[in-house]
Amino acid sequence: MSQALDRGRAVVRRPDVPLRSLLPLGLFFLLALVFPFLPLGERAEYLLQIAFFTLVAGVLALSWDILARSGQVSLAHAAFYGLGAYGFALLSKVMPWFLAMPVAALIAGLISLILGAVTMRLSGMYFAIATLAFTEVVRTIIQNLPEATAGGANGLLVPALLGGNARAQYFLAFGILLFTALVSLAIRRSRLHHAFAAIRQGEETARVLGVSVVKYKLLAFFISSFLAALGGVLYAGKTFFINPLETFSLANSIAPLTTSIFGGLYTTLGPILGATVLRVAEEILHAYIKNGYLVVYGLVLMLSILWLPRGLMGLFKRGKHGGDV
Amino acid sequence: MKKMLLTGVLLALSGAGAVKVGALLPLSGAGSVSGQAARNGYLLALEEINKAGGVLGRPLELEFADDGSSPAKAVPEFVKLVTVEKVDFMVGGVSSATSIAISGPAKQYNTFMAWIGAAAVPVEDAFADHKYFFHYHPWSYYNFEAILDYFKHLRVTKKARNIAIAYEDGPFGSAGIGDTVAAFKKAGFNVVMTEKFKTGSGNFGPIVSKAKAARPDIFYWVGYDTDALPLATEIKQQNLNVGLIYGTPPSWPVGFEKNRLADNVAGLSLWLPTSPNAQSRAFVNAYRKKFGNVTEEYFAPLAYVNLKTLAAAINKAGSTDKDKVAAALAATNTQTPFGPLTFTKSNKTRYQGFKAGSWLSFQYLGDDRAPVYPLKFAKKTTVWGK
């Protein structure tokens, strides 16, 4: 396997992802695409805002899941989300937004390589704590940059994405989630899938098999952080304002984790589905239980995870070849 | 009285034709203490307004929405109030981040906003060109102006010269700390120590030790209520010889006044339940009657004043036309628990309510908080520790 992964392309074939298994994912994106055109009446604009943040939550969850596939349970996602947001806010002062967006994500991706390299030898809770500390370090640095540059602890006003047009912003978020899903599928169809799975199941074994653990772990970090940063860009451009406390909050690291587990780990549809169901559930609970809805929400989440150890994706039949998509 | 009550009941029963006001508040999350306090203030005001005949002969209806102290939640909630609930006016707004996040939709829908919180300057920037934005709470620079004014008074009366600053390393403590130091220096003070700390760590030993060596006249700390007791304990243990300990947490620990360590500690508040003015007494009595207790949170009376003045402006305007109501609200000149309320320009926004002069400096004396500055509101003289 090792030779196959890193040198010999002929021995291990690419993992198959049967087209049939892509249907639910395709259906989701089709629904998301036509959503703004549905006759939603007076609730249309409100639902469009909810849908926007749901798409962002999907990007964040799926990007986290891609890293988790290599066995790295990170609590640094808020750092990359925040770096994307801050990168975009600062870069959009000197370049057009459509350039600022990928450049900000690229910078976050490159910074993630530092974290990846530093935490290379850590695993389990030690790795999680190190990534959590990394988020705190990034937050502190941003907060202590000159106020004129990064707003300091006060925060920073951000130019509205696409002139603040809610529908255009929605389609941008849709596009980025679609891109994230395509990256996820591409990974599943490539040898990376086997490499990540091998590392996750045991680094030593993977190493013995010849998998370049360092290379693949760093690659997972880069891809995941790049995508998370794109989520941060969307958030910043939508809310017009970022500050260190909100942007680098622990909640932004925990949410993608719980969402992915709830939806179904190591899949493409699972984290997206998890984000959608949880966000919608939160809104519904909020509407009917004004006080204490978060308690009910937490209980529902807890019980769901207990009863569905493989998440929502566990409800679907496993694919015969490529596993769950 | 019976007639008024009957009017109120009839108005409440006839939901049709109500004037709808949306209240966006942090009812959950980090800002929920202020948000819940504000909610009570609104409920009290709503009851009084509808008992007195509502607005324009119609009932006033409040639709609360929880922004969860999060910008990502505030945006959909705001849009829902405006587009689904079709509120005529918006009140509320505690957090700066959520207020900025809704500035886009607010401008898009040209929403009328009578805002009670969000003191950070970026909010002022975000709403600078919004013609229906009425801001009640003083901007952050007014807060500091009030503190500086008090310290200048202490320089004259107590020969205070040296200030030691301890500030928490989060946005609350760190924001504008450079400007704070510069302003103290410009005012002729020596800033003999500037140290940051982590809120909740409880470890003030090194900071107090350093302050002791710096021999300050005023120990000025910017942090949260959780820091108050450990800091006061450390100061007592190390026997820091200081004229005044002055803190600016958003709220103080419950029952802090009963603790002897609180003696002489000073702070800033927009309102105290012990404020002697008639409006404050009336608010405290009405609040106690409705909720069975007395609030220490100034967001309760602030929200109360907010809705009462908006309702008065709608009545004065004779319609819900935004321009007419804005003109009527802009002409507000009324007494409140915080003192007189009028709207004048701030640095950037058109309608600013309370300013630096509305803040009170108080000192924990005995089992109470006594206003000590400005002198016209002072009930006691500052107790100076040196």
* Contact check, Cβ <8 Å, B176/A154: yes
Q: For the ranges A12-21, A310-319, B40-49, B232-241, which has the lowest average pLDDT?
A: A12-21
B171 pLDDT band, cuts 50/70/90, is low
Q: Which of residues A148 and A40 earns the better pLDDT score?
A: A40
The DSSP code for B55 is: B
Task: Quote the pTM value.
Answer: 0.86
* Cross-strand partners of B268: B361
Amino acid at A42: E
Query: Mean of the pLDDT values across residues B260-280?
Result: 91
Whether residue B256 contacts residue B229, with contact meaning beta carbons closer than 8 Å, is answered with yes
* Contact check, Cβ <8 Å, B75/A155: no
Find, among B368, B259, B152, B336, the residue nearest to B379 by Cα. B368
Say whether pLDDT at A144 is over 90.
Answer: no
Task: Report the distance separating Cα A30 and Cα A32, nearest Å.
Answer: 5
A1 pLDDT band, cuts 50/70/90, is very low
* Contact check, Cβ <8 Å, A147/B83: no
Three-state SS for B374?
Answer: coil
Q: How many of the other CB atoms lie within 10 Å of CB of B274?
A: 16
**Among chain B residues, CA nearest to A54:** B72
* Contact check, Cβ <8 Å, A155/B171: yes
Q: What is the pLDDT of residue A12?
A: 46
Task: Report the distance separating Cα B234 and Cα B209, nearest Å.
Answer: 9
Q: What is the pLDDT of residue B174?
A: 78
* Contact check, Cβ <8 Å, B75/A53: yes
* Contact check, Cβ <8 Å, B104/A160: yes
Q: Which residues in chain A are contacts of B104 at CB distance < 8 A?
A: 160, 164, 240
Q: How many CB pairs under 8 A join A and B?
A: 94
Query: Mean of the pLDDT values across residues B85-100?
Result: 93
Q: What is the pLDDT of residue A14?
A: 58
SS (H, E, C) chain A: CHHHHHCCCCCCCCCCCCHHHHHHHHHHHHHHHHHHHCCCHHHHHHHHHHHHHHHHHHHHHHHHHHHHCCCCCCCCHHHHHHHHHHHHHHHCCCCCHHHHHHHHHHHHHHHHHHHHHHCCCCCHHHHHHHHHHHHHHHHHHHHHCCHHHHCHHHCEECCCHHHHCHHHHHHHHHHHHHHHHHHHHHHHHCHHHHHHHHHHHCHHHHHHCCCCHHHHHHHHHHHHHHHHHHHHHHHHHHHCEECHHHHCCCHHHHHHHHHHHHHCCCCCHHHHHHHHHHHHHHHHHHHHCCCCHHHHHHHHHHHHHHHCCCCHHHHCCCCCCCCCC
Q: What is the pLDDT of residue B98?
A: 92
Q: For the ranges A305-309, B171-175, B341-345, which has the lowest average pLDDT?
A: B171-175
Q: Which residues in chain A are contacts of B172 at CB distance < 8 A?
A: 153
Q: What is the pLDDT of residue A128?
A: 94
B30 pLDDT band, cuts 50/70/90, is confident
Sign of the dihedral defined by the CA atoms of residues B216, B220, B225, B226, in that order: negative
* Contact check, Cβ <8 Å, B178/A246: no
Q: For the ranges A3-12, A140-149, A166-175, A206-215, which has the lowest average pLDDT?
A: A3-12
Half-sphere exposure of B331 (CA within 13 A, CB side): 12
- Exposure class string for B333-346: b at 16+ Cβ within 10 A, else e: eeebbbbebebeeb
Percent over 90 (pLDDT), chain B = 75
Whether residue B199 contacts residue B171, with contact meaning beta carbons closer than 8 Å, is answered with no
Task: Report the distance separating Cα B21 and Cα B10, nearest Å.
Answer: 19
Q: How many of the other CB atoms lie within 10 Å of CB of A87?
A: 24
Q: Which residues in chain A are contacts of B120 at CB distance < 8 A?
A: 154-155
* Contact check, Cβ <8 Å, B101/A151: no
The DSSP code for B293 is: S
Task: Report the distance separating Cα B130 and Cα A240, nearest Å.
Answer: 15
Find, among B106, B167, B116, B160, the residue nearest to B137 by Cα. B116
Kindly list the distances between the CA atom of residue A313 and the CA atoms of A20, A164, A256, A273, in Å, as whole numbers in the listed order: 15, 35, 16, 9
**Among chain B residues, CA nearest to A47:** B76
Q: To 5 degrees, how large is the angle CA B107–CA A48–CA A20?
A: 155
B-side interface with A, Cβ within 8 Å?
A: 27-28, 64, 66, 70-72, 75-76, 79-80, 83-84, 86, 96-97, 100-101, 103-104, 108, 120-122, 125-126, 169-176, 178
Say whether pLDDT at B32 is over 70.
Answer: yes
Query: Mean of the pLDDT values across residues B308-319?
Result: 98
Residue B196, H or E segment: strand B190-197
Six-digit token pair at B346? 């701030």
Q: What is the pLDDT of residue B88?
A: 96
Distance from CA of A303 to the nearest CA of B (A): 22
Whether residue A84 contacts residue A108, with contact meaning beta carbons closer than 8 Å, is answered with yes
Say whether pLDDT at B8 is over 80.
Answer: no
Q: For the ranges A299-308, B61-70, B276-285, B342-351, which has the lowest average pLDDT?
A: A299-308
Query: Mean of the pLDDT values across residues A115-144?
Result: 92
Q: Which of B76, B121, B175 is closest, CB to CB, to A50?
A: B76
Maximum distance among all alpha carbons in chain B?
69
Percent over 70 (pLDDT), chain A = 92
Q: Identify whether B374 is preceded by a cis peptide bond (ω within 30 of 0).
A: yes
Q: Which residues in chain B are contacts of A283 at CB distance < 8 A?
A: 76
Six-digit token pair at A134? 């990394």
Neighbour-count burial of A228, counting CB atoms closer than 10 A to its CB (0-12 exposed, 13-18 middle, 19+ buried): buried
Amino acid at B299: F
B2 pLDDT band, cuts 50/70/90, is low
Q: To 5 degrees, how large is the angle CA B293–CA B297–CA B303?
A: 100
Query: Residues near B325 by Cβ (< 8 Å), separated by ≥ 6?
Result: B89, B112, B310, B313, B314, B317, B319
Helix axes B140-158, B177-186, angle to 10 degrees: 30
* Contact check, Cβ <8 Å, A154/B122: yes
H helices of chain B, in order, are 2-13, 32-51, 71-79, 96-101, 103-108, 121-126, 140-158, 171-174, 177-186, 205-214, 225-237, 278-291, 299-317, 322-330
Q: What is the pLDDT of residue B96?
A: 87
Say whether pLDDT at B176 is over 80.
Answer: no
**Among chain A residues, CA nearest to B101:** A239
Q: What is the pLDDT of residue B254?
A: 77
Give one word for A266, left, alpha or beta, with left for phi > 0 and alpha for psi -120 to 50: left
A-side interface with B, Cβ within 8 Å?
A: 42-46, 49-50, 53, 56, 140, 143-144, 147, 151-157, 160, 164, 235, 238-241, 243-246, 283, 286, 290-291, 294
Q: Which residues in chain B are contacts of A143 at CB distance < 8 A?
A: 169, 171, 174
B36 pLDDT band, cuts 50/70/90, is very high
ipTM of the complex: 0.83
Q: What is the pLDDT of residue B3?
A: 52
Mutate which of B67, B174, B194, B196 to test chain A, going by most A C-beta atoms within 10 A? Answer: B174
Distance from CA of A241 to the nearest CA of B (A): 6
Residue B90, H or E segment: strand B89-92
Neighbour-count burial of A119, counting CB atoms closer than 10 A to its CB (0-12 exposed, 13-18 middle, 19+ buried): buried
Whether residue B79 contacts residue B105, with contact meaning beta carbons closer than 8 Å, is answered with yes
Q: Which of A56, A153, A164 is closest, CB to CB, to B171?
A: A153
**Among chain B residues, CA nearest to A152:** B175
Q: Which of residues B226 and B300 earns the better pLDDT score?
A: B300
* Contact check, Cβ <8 Å, A153/B173: yes
Helix axes B299-317, B32-51, angle to 10 degrees: 40
Express each pLDDT in B98-130 by its tens digit. Answer: 999 999 999 999 999 999 999 888 899 999 999
Q: Which residues in chain A are contacts of B122 at CB distance < 8 A?
A: 151, 154-157, 241
Q: Which residues in chain B are contacts of A147 at CB distance < 8 A?
A: 176, 178
Say whether pLDDT at B15 is over 70.
Answer: no
Q: What is the pLDDT of residue A10?
A: 39
Q: Which residues in chain A are contacts of B64 at CB distance < 8 A?
A: 290
A212 pLDDT band, cuts 50/70/90, is very high
Q: Which residues in chain B are contacts of A243 at CB distance < 8 A?
A: 97, 171
Find, among B308, B270, B322, B340, the residue nearest to B131 by Cα. B322
Query: Mean of the pLDDT values across residues A115-138?
Result: 93
Q: Which of A44, A50, A152 is closest, CB to CB, to B175?
A: A152
Say whether pLDDT at B322 is over 60.
Answer: yes
Say whether pLDDT at B380 is over 60.
Answer: yes
* Cross-strand partners of B364: B369
Task: Report the distance separating Cα A131 and Cα A118, nearest Å.
Answer: 10
B95 pLDDT band, cuts 50/70/90, is confident
Query: Tokens 């910008």 — which residue?
Result: B71
Q: For the ranges A289-293, B48-52, B214-218, which has the lowest average pLDDT?
A: A289-293
B249 pLDDT band, cuts 50/70/90, is confident
Say whether pLDDT at A237 is over 90.
Answer: yes
Query: Mean of the pLDDT values across residues B297-321?
Result: 97
Whether residue A45 contacts residue B79, with contact meaning beta carbons closer than 8 Å, is answered with yes
Q: Which residues in chain B are contacts of A168 at CB distance < 8 A?
A: none
Q: What is the pLDDT of residue A151?
A: 85
Q: What is the pLDDT of residue B224?
A: 82
Find, among B204, B195, B193, B130, the residue nearest to B169 by Cα. B195
Distance from CA of B101 to the nearest CA of A (A): 4
Q: Which of residues A291 and A76 earns the better pLDDT score?
A: A76
* Contact check, Cβ <8 Å, A290/B66: yes
The per-residue pLDDT of chain A, averaged, comes to 89
Sign of the dihedral defined by the CA atoms of residues B306, B113, B102, B131, in that order: negative
Say whether pLDDT at A241 is over 80.
Answer: yes
Distance from CA of B84 to the nearest CA of A (A): 6
First to last CA, chain A: 23
Q: What is the pLDDT of residue A8?
A: 42
Percent over 70 (pLDDT), chain B = 95
* Contact check, Cβ <8 Å, B171/A286: no
Task: Report the distance separating Cα B37 and Cα B297, nearest Å.
Answer: 6
Whether residue B42 contacts residue B307, with contact meaning beta carbons closer than 8 Å, is answered with yes
Q: To 5 degrees, how large is the angle CA A132–CA A138–CA A142?
A: 150
Whether residue A91 contacts residue A100, with contact meaning beta carbons closer than 8 Å, is answered with yes
